[in-house]
Amino acid sequence: MFIKLFLITGVVVAVSFLAMGISIFVKKNGKFPSFEIGKNKEMRKLGITCAKHDEIKCHNRHKKEEPCDCG
């Protein structure tokens, strides 16, 4: 029972990786889409910022005794 489930899972994962590889190979640019907020132009256009950078901004404001209104 366990071996059968393991084999089925392995085949599904292998087919998924193969499909992703083929889709990247067929596309013009051949790259994965960027999901990082700092590198994604569309997210920056919408005003969505990285939580890490928000924390850095708030921390720097706190050092200068300015109130932090991040969020």
pLDDT score, position 3: 94
pTM above 0.75?
A: no
What single DSSP character describes residue 69?
A: -
pLDDT tens, residue order, the chain (71 aa) = 889 999 999 999 999 999 988 877 787 776 666 667 767 777 778 888 777 777 887 777 666 655 555 54
